[in-house]
């Protein structure tokens, strides 16, 4: 009996000790929760518990917080100051027992962020990730329908990757459509390839500078390669968790080469064999404006809508210009999988003879997201 009593006493002491050294949350309705405080944005608090995993609690419903005196939390207040130490809240005030500045007190309404050591470490790494880390994006594989200079269906591939930091962002993209033009006889391979990169640097909370290089090849417009090098400024008109709206303006230098034009029959007494393409042989070099807007909107919990419109008027010949419009959606259907739809309109005011001004492209298929 004595040993049994000693064993029960030891178990009780261990349980009590565990409770004493766990973070404790007391709600205004009298309920108490124990676990480990993970993070808070001032509106909700995440508590990790052994029984239920992560539990999200409304911050306004909390009466009292008392954390393990041996563990530190990183608390950010409305004035931007951060205090580190064990936390206690009572009577509408928060107390952080720091090692260097003593106890820091503030109204609980002034709390904007709370992070434990693991969350703080992850946040610090996200501010300045190396180029090998911090990438996120997706790859699309889908079926395409093209109208304009082509009328057919085939495979479309795309890759997008973004490397964001606190004040910078690198964006890479590549997409292609490889198909046959059923309107032409003989059928012509419609090989459309686009790719590029852009670097954004925040100058102020809403103002940023950017530099970009974009490349395009379009067999249906007889375009061997168009290279566009752009620099300018952008403005974050809307920047929230669910919606961003940016306006961009700048200058670009465009270098484009068209090679072959429409097929022509031989002209007697010429010995030109049938099936030879007339050489278009034109190279354009000019400066142009870059004007655009970009929208990114989260629709519910699973769908993201993206849209952008760009206009490139030639500064040397104002009657000539290019324009692009893109509208896409990605809907999550799994942790790393989604369904994507993309519509694009590529317009050129002065295509070679035999080519149309518009290429309309619709793609749909699977999206594979990644984070590194």
Task: Note the pLDDT tens digit of each residue in 107-151.
Answer: 988 899 999 988 888 887 767 666 777 788 889 887 766 667 766
How would you label 275-291 residue by residue, b for 16+ Cβ within 10 Å and e otherwise?
Answer: eeeeebeeeeeeebbbb
Average pLDDT over residues 253-261: 84
| Nearest of 133, 191, 201 to residue 161 by alpha carbon | 133
| Nearest of 57, 292, 1, 344 to residue 177 by alpha carbon | 344
Supply the mean pLDDT for the chain.
Answer: 84
Place 311 in a pLDDT band, splitting at 50, 70 and 90: very high
Rounded CA separation 32/58 (Å): 14
Q: Tokens 């390839």 appear where?
A: 193
Domains in the chain, ordered, with CATH? 21-127 (no CATH), 136-371 (2.40.160.40)
* Per-residue CA distances from 310 to 144, 238, 294, 307, 350 (Å): 22, 18, 9, 10, 17
In this predicted structure, the answer to whether residue 26 has a pLDDT above a threshold of 60 is yes
In this predicted structure, the answer to whether residue 250 has a pLDDT above a threshold of 60 is yes
Least confident piece of the model among 94-108, 212-226, 232-246, 277-291: 277-291
- Its pTM stands at 0.65
- Cα-Cα-Cα-Cα dihedral sign, residues 331, 295, 232, 123: negative
Rounded CA separation 372/370 (Å): 7
């Amino acid at each position: 009996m004595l040993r049994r009593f000693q064993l029960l006493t030891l178990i009780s002491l261990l349980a009590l000790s565990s409770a004493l050294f766990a973070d404790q949350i007391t709600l205004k309705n009298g309920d108490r929760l124990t676990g480990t405080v993970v993070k808070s944005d001032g509106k909700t608090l995440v508590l990790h518990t052994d029984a239920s995993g992560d539990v999200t609690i409304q911050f306004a419903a909390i009466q009292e917080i008392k954390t393990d005196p041996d563990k530190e939390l990183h608390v950010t207040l409305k004035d931007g100051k951060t205090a580190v130490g064990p936390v206690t809240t009572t009577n509408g005030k928060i107390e952080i027992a720091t090692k260097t500045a003593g106890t820091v007190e503030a109204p609980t309404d002034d709390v904007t962020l709370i992070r434990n050591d693991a969350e703080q470490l992850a946040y610090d790494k996200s501010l300045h990730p190396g180029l090998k880390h911090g990438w996120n994006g997706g790859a699309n594989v889908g079926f395409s329908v093209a109208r304009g200079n082509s009328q057919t269906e085939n495979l479309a591939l795309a890759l997008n990757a973004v490397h964001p930091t606190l004040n910078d962002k690198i964006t890479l993209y590549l997409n292609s459509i490889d198909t046959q033009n059923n309107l032409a006889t003989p059928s012509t391979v419609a090989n459309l390839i686009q790719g590029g990169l852009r670097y954004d640097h925040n100058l102020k909370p809403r103002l940023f500078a950017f530099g970009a290089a974009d490349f395009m090849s379009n067999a249906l417009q007889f375009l061997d390669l168009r290279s566009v090098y752009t620099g300018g400024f952008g403005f974050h008109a809307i920047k929230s968790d669910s919606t961003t709206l940016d306006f961009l303006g700048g200058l670009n230098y465009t270098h484009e080469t068209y090679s072959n034009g429409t097929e022509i029959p031989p002209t007697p007494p010429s010995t030109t064999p049938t099936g030879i393409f007339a050489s278009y042989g034109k190279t354009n070099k000019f400066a142009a404006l870059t004007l655009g807007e970009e929208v990114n909107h989260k629709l519910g919990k699973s769908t993201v809508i993206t849209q952008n419109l760009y206009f490139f008027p030639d500064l040397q010949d104002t009657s000539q210009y290019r324009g692009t419009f893109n509208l896409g959606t990605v809907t999550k259907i799994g942790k790393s999988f989604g369904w994507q739809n993309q519509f694009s309109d590529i317009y050129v005011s002065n295509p070679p003879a035999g080519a149309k001004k518009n290429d309309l492209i619709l793609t749909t298929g699977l999206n594979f997201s990644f984070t590194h």
